[in-house]
């Protein structure tokens, strides 16, 4: 039993026994996620209250620990693995990805330097090179895995700042330098603005460009903003365009934005966290049009490539600038290999030193499903999204509030007899009612002021029957809410 000896790890036989049990549990869980309500029904604080406030003095048997996992923790889990999870972006892992995580945990290598695990660094290069080819980015982009798109965008914007020639930001900090301005659309993810805060631009250093009727960055407005800012003494330095905005999955016109960046000497970063992955299917290659001219691009295998969170693929066409922004090598991290053989030490290209072996799960996912298998799953999600959009368009009690380029549908109920100023209230109530059933989980956004339901399809187990059932549920709950009692 655990805790009997004061030294050493769990005995190998015990590890094997519980390893089998845990994998068996996971296999059964993944085969039947529908037995749980999608959205956790726990009251705030209930999980904490059910666990001891003090740590155990002695080790406990694994049976008891696993029993608490099932009895105490599982009821507090919102099941992202449920095929009716349609909220946010319905990210999904997959069995080969889980096995990759397990092996990475067993190896527990730190991929900070090439030397600290050559296979981890080189597999990262190989897997990201494969992914680059799959989405159609040209050679010349260096790939590196980051934990999240938020951090990848932060690193991109730090590199953009490093590329500003007239001030040595790395040495001097922001003081005494020009007032930098970053441009992104009003529909961009909050991580871009957050990067501006972290990097010392301040929120005022991030200018949000209006969007057109399809929620895409207005390039003429971008041009005007850059010109206005130059006149007012700002130093424009970077544009962060989005391929697949969070609310509506709109795609900014990257080719035209790239042209502005070329003319104005601005770094172009593309946040393709969600929709960049669609480019794996040839018919959605257009999603990354213009990205060959970008300085950096992030796409997220942990969003729409069936790779367990976390895993973001960050591509940079000017790795020497990224390196100049981040590399700081103390004596204890110097290696002869990096100096003599010119191998890459990934710690030089980002914030963190310690790096998990994330490439393993990504490589296993790509190998297990293959390029065609991955493309087929993404294509099916888009088909389901379009099908749902057609049902909404055909129902007079609902309306779509944005175009549906991929598999995320933005819409609201518009029941007869409900005045326009009550639609927000009715739709918020509809969302709560649907989510309370435990049979589906949707989230919301606000578009041009209107409370909007978001139905995002991206889970590997989601099929047409799940989408249809959730659509029927929406219509049933709407009737219940609006029928006179
Ligand atoms: N960018 C976009 C367009 C997103 O939709 C999201 C999250 O949904 C992010 C960035 C942040 O992703 P991450 O959780 O990997 O930081």
Rounded CA separation 188/216 (Å): 10
Higher pLDDT: 417 or 181? It is 181
Residue with tokens 């895409």: 216
pLDDT at 2: 53
Check whether 3 has a pLDDT greater than 70. no
Q: Is the CB of 148 under 6 A from ligand 1?
A: yes
Look at the block and give the residue holding tokens 């290696």: 335
Pocket of ligand 1 contains residue 149 by CB under 6 Å: yes
pLDDT at 167: 94
Q: Note if the pTM is more than 0.85.
A: yes
Which residue matches tokens 């895993």? 311
189 lines ligand 1 (CB under 6 A): yes
CA of residue 257 to ligand 1 center, whole Å: 21
Q: What is the pLDDT of residues 252-268, one digit of tens each?
A: 999 999 999 999 999 99
Which pLDDT tens digit goes with each residue over 51-106? 999 999 999 999 999 999 999 999 999 999 999 999 999 888 999 999 999 999 99
Q: Which atom of ligand 1 is nearest to the CA of 309?
A: 15
Query: What pLDDT does 5 receive?
Result: 65
The ligand 1 atom at the shortest distance from the C-alpha of residue 245 is 3
Average pLDDT on 152-181 reads 95
Q: How far apart are the CA of 334 and the centre of ligand 1, in A?
A: 34
Determine the average pLDDT of the residues in 336-344: 81
- pLDDT bin (cut points 50, 70, 90) of residue 342 is confident
**Mean pLDDT value of segment 411-436:** 96
Name 59's Cβ contacts closer than 8 Å, sequence gap at least 6: 1, 2, 3, 4
Ligand 1 atom 14, closest CA: 148
CA dihedral (162, 165, 167, 171) in degrees, to 10, reads: 40
How far is C-alpha 324 from the geometric centre of its chain's CA atoms? Answer: 26
pLDDT category at 134 given cuts 50, 70, 90 is very high
pLDDT, position 4? 55
pLDDT tens sequence across 426-470: 999 999 999 999 999 999 999 999 999 999 999 999 999 999 999
Nearest one of 294, 292, 289, 276 to 239, comparing CA atoms: 294
Measured from the CB, is residue 369 less than 6 Å from ligand 1?
A: no
Q: 146, 152, 191: which to mutate for ligand 1, most atoms within 8 A of CB?
A: 191
Residue 89 alpha carbon, nearest atom of ligand 1: 8
The Cα-based distances of 353 to 54, 58, 482 in angstroms read 32, 33, 56
What percent of the chain is predicted at pLDDT more than 90?
95
- 3-state class of 296 per DSSP? strand
Residue 335: exposure state from Cβ atoms within 10 A (0-12, 13-18, ≥19): middle
Do the Cβ atoms of 310 and 148 come closer than 8 Å? yes
The answer, yes or no, to whether residue 43 has pLDDT greater than 70, is: yes
Taking the C-alpha atoms of residue 214 and residue 404, their distance in angstroms, rounded to an integer, is 10
Sign of torsion over alpha carbons 103, 107, 110, 113: negative
């Amino acid at each position: 039993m655990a805790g009997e000896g004061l030294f050493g790890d769990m005995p190998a036989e015990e590890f094997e026994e519980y390893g089998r049990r845990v994998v068996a549990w996971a296999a059964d869980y993944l085969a039947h996620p529908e037995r749980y309500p999608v959205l956790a029904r726990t009251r705030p604080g209930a999980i904490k209250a059910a666990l001891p406030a003090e740590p155990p003095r002695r080790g406990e048997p694994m049976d008891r620990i696993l029993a608490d996992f099932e009895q105490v923790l599982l009821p507090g889990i919102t099941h992202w693995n449920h095929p009716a999870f349609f909220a946010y972006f319905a990210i999904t892992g997959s069995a080969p990805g889980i096995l990759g995580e397990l092996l990475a945990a067993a190896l527990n290598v730190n991929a900070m330097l090439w030397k600290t695990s050559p296979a981890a660094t080189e597999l990262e290069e190989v897997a990201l090179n494969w992914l680059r080819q799959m989405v159609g980015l040209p050679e010349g982009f260096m790939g590196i895995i980051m934990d999240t798109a938020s951090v990848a965008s932060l690193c991109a914007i730090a590199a953009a700042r490093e590329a500003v020639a007239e001030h040595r930001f790395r040495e001097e900090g922001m003081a005494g330098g020009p007032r930098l301005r970053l441009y992104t659309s009003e529909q961009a993810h909050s991580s871009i603005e957050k990067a501006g805060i972290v990097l010392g631009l301040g929120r005022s250093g991030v200018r949000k460009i209006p969007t057109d009727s399809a929620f895409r960055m207005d390039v003429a407005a971008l041009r005007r903003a850059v010109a206005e800012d130059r006149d007012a003494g700002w130093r424009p330095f970077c544009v962060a365009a989005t391929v697949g905005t969070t609310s509506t999955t709109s795609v900014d016109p990257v080719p035209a934005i790239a042209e502005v960046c070329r003319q104005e000497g601005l770094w172009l970063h593309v946040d393709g966290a969600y929709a960049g992955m669609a480019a794996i299917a040839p018919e959605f290659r257009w999603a990354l049009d213009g990205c060959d001219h970008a300085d950096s691009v992030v796409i997220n295998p942990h969003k729409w490539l069936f790779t367990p969170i976390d895993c973001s693929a960050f591509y940079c066409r000017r790795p020497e600038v990224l390196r100049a922004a981040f590399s700081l090598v103390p004596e204890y991290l110097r290696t002869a290999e990096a100096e003599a053989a010119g191998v890459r030490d990934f710690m030089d290209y980002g914030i963190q030193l310690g790096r998990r072996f994330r490439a393993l799960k990504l490589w296993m996912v790509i190998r297990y499903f293959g390029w065609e298998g991955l493309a087929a799953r993404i294509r099916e999600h888009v088909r389901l999204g379009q099908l749902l959009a057609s049902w909404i368009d055909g129902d007079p009690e609902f309306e779509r509030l944005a175009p549906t380029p991929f598999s995320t549908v933005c819409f609201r109920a518009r029941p007869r007899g409900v005045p326009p100023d009550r639609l927000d209230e009715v739709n918020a109530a509809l969302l709560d009612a649907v989510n309370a059933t435990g049979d589906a989980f949707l989230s919301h956004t606000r578009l041009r002021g209107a409370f909007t339901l978001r139905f995002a399809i991206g889970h590997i187990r989601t099929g047409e029957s799940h989408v249809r059932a959730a659509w029927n549920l929406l219509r049933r709950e709407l009737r219940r809410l609006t029928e006179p009692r």
